[in-house]
């Protein structure tokens, strides 16, 4: 109880972050509303006097607040909270000074542990509404979901800062303006240490470019990645100039000031490989603690699955494992190591669209039964599906499949083919940063005879509405 009272007091002592959202020069309707739920994008849901649903930014469920309507459609309105009349016990003072403008974090006004609780609620809603999972699987998911809390501050090992010649930081909410920052609460401390250097040197580079008249207007995005060897690697992710023919010269000036070497490699600790290196163009899991954590969960599921072949005295000699959307192959050799623990041969394949990532994968897994394939995953699946249709008796089906797609997921068609390409007894591990794609794609597995075995929600994106889910689905075992 004391805990809640303190939180309310601190909230009342500083109301600035709500007021800063408010632009008094624009006249919008104002109302006092009481919210009754939270939407999956972190806004409170309330009903307007005219009966229309209102989504209110910076408000929590069960609060009463004076709000300003900023956007109206026939069936819903968007609003911002101006003054909270009765704060929720879960309300806290946002820990970051840039919260009123920066579009990066949406949940800083909610107590950290409660952010994770809301996310698990949103996840079940998504399974029901978007995935249309049946009640048996929803009940099972509620029973087995493991909610995993990760550190919520200074956790990001990779970020992208925008720079326009003057301001360095993230984009403002619903705007192209850049919020100038000197510190970011969710970026790693090593990345924070680079901000002053970055701003100073980008300004010098832009000045030189302007003085030499190569370009007058420029904007760039710099990606920073903290490696496990204490270094921060910089990458120019975007660079726009108003005089395209001079772009290469401008880039050279930028690289000189940032002391960027293009061949620079990111070093990571790998749970089982002696060394893991990747080209900086490759994807990297953003949270500092995630690689080891996801690896451990997938490893346990793979071990249990392969062990069941020993128990059942199966004659199977060779197992096939796919890691789709493999990136630089952080998980690609995992089934091989699992097989080794049980004296089983597992042949692994990683499929990924970015060449640099596959180069890294093939280097990281040299001398192992692991092959990196550059391809679009959906095209790869389609080709394999056709191969199986043509020669079903010779086709080597997949026993263990790891799937870690981008936000859009794999899509229903690819998932239906995956169901056909997996062997009668198989394990599919689906890791997702978009719960809606996860819900939609994995329903196809459930309809294809797979059973939900494990489900984890990792709150790997503290203070934002995002989270990662990992589901293991098994077919034909037990």
Q: Which residues are annotated as a binding site for S-adenosyl-L-methionine?
A: 285, 325, 352, 404
Phi-psi region of 165 (alpha: psi -120 to 50; beta: other; left: phi over 0): left
CA distance linking residue 293 with residue 151, whole number of Å: 12
* C-alpha atoms less than 13 angstroms from C-alpha of 359 in its C-beta half-sphere: 10
Give the footprint of ligand SAM on residues 346-385 (CB under 6 A): 352-354, 357, 376-378
Q: How far apart are CA 453 and CA 471, in angstroms?
A: 7
* Smaller CB separation from ligand SAM, 109 or 157: 157
Q: Is residue 232 classed as helix, strand or coil in its secondary structure?
A: strand
Stretch 281-300 residues interacting with ligand SAM (CB under 6 A): 283, 285
Q: How far is the CB of 419 from ligand SAM (least distance, A)?
A: 19
If one asks whether residue 266 binds ligand SAM (CB under 6 A), the answer comes out as: no
306 makes contact with ligand SAM (CB under 6 A): no
Nearer to ligand SAM, 188 or 285 (CB): 285
CB of 120 within 8 A of CB of 201? no
| Residue 411 sits in the site that holds ligand SAM (CB under 6 A) | no
Task: Output the smallest distance, CB 437 to ligand SAM, in A.
Answer: 11
Check residue 471 for interaction with ligand SAM (CB under 6 A): no
How far apart are CB 287 and ligand SAM at their closest, in Å? 11
Rounded to the nearest whole angstrom, what is the least distance from the CB of residue 449 to ligand SAM in the complex?
A: 25
CB 271 within 8 A of CB 292: yes
Using the rule CB under 6 A, give the single segment among 82-90, 158-166, 235-243, 322-330 that binds ligand SAM.
Answer: 322-330
Q: How far apart are the first and last CA of the chain?
A: 48
Whole-number Cα distances in Å, 198 to 73, 183, 249, 254, 292? 42, 12, 19, 11, 30
Name which position in 214, 331, 438, 473 contacts ligand SAM (CB under 6 A). Answer: 331
Residue 278 beta carbon to ligand SAM: minimum distance, rounded to whole angstroms: 8
- Which residue, 98 or 430, is less far from ligand SAM as judged by CB? 430
DSSP letters, 152-172, are -SS-BSEEEEEE-SS-EEEEB
Q: Which is nearer to ligand SAM, 69 or 472 (CB)?
A: 472
Pick 81 or 278: Cβ nearer ligand SAM: 278
Question: Is residue 61 near ligand SAM by the rule CB under 6 A?
Answer: no
CA pair distance 24, 47, nearest whole angstrom: 24
Cα–Cα dist 107/127, whole Å: 22
Residues labelled as active-site residues: 433
CB-based contact 107:450 (threshold 8 Å)? no
- Interaction site with ligand SAM (CB under 6 A): 283, 285, 325-328, 330-331, 352-354, 357, 376-378, 404, 406
């Amino acid at each position: 109880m004391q805990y809640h009272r303190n939180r309310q007091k601190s909230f009342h002592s500083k109301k600035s972050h709500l007021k800063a959202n408010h632009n008094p020069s624009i006249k919008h309707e104002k109302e006092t509303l009481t919210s009754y739920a939270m939407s999956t994008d972190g806004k409170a849901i309330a009903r307007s006097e005219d009966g229309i649903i209102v989504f209110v930014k910076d408000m929590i469920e069960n609060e009463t607040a004076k709000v300003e309507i900023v956007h109206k459609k026939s069936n819903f309105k968007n609003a911002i909270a101006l003054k909270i009349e009765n704060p929720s016990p879960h309300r806290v003072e946002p820990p970051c000074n840039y919260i009123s403008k920066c579009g990066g974090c949406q949940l800083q006004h909610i107590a950290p542990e409660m952010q994770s609780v809301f996310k698990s609620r949103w996840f079940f809603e998504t399974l029901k509404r978007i995935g249309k999972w049946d009640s048996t699987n929803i009940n099972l998911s509620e029973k087995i979901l493991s909610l995993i809390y990760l550190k919520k501050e200074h956790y990001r090992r990779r970020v992208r800062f925008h720079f326009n010649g003057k301001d360095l930081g993230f984009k403002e909410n619903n705007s192209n303006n850049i919020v100038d920052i000197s510190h970011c609460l969710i970026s790693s401390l090593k990345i924070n240490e680079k901000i002053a250097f970055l701003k100073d040197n980008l300004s010098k580079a832009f000045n030189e470019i302007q003085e030499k008249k190569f370009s007058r207007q420029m904007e760039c995005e710099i990606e920073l990645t903290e490696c496990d060897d204490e270094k921060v690697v910089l990458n120019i992710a975007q660079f726009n100039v108003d005089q395209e023919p001079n772009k290469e010269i401008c880039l050279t000036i930028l690289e000189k000031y940032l002391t960027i070497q293009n061949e620079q490699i990111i070093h990571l600790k790998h749970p089982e490989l002696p060394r893991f290196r990747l080209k900086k163009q490759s994807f990297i899991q953003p949270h500092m603690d995630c690689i080891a954590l996801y690896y451990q969960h997938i490893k346990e599921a793979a071990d249990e699955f392969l062990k069941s072949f020993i128990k059942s005295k199966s004659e199977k000699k060779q197992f096939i494992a796919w890691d789709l959307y493999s990136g630089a192959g952080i998980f690609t050799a995992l089934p091989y190591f699992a097989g080794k623990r049980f004296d089983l041969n597992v042949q692994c394949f990683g499929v990924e669209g970015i060449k640099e990532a596959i180069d890294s994968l093939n280097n990281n897994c040299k001398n192992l039964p692991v092959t990196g394939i550059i391809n679009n995953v959906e095209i790869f699946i389609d080709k394999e599906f056709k191969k199986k249709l043509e020669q079903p008796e010779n086709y080597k089906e997949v026993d263990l499949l790891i799937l870690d797609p981008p936000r859009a997921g794999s899509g229903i068609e690819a998932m239906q083919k995956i169901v056909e390409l997996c062997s009668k007894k198989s394990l599919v591990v689906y890791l997702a940063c978009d719960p809606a794609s996860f819900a939609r794609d994995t329903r196809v597995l459930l309809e294809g005879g797979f059973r939900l075995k494990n489900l984890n929600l990792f709150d790997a994106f503290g203070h934002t509405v995002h989270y990662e889910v990992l589901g293991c689905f098994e077919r034909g075992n037990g």
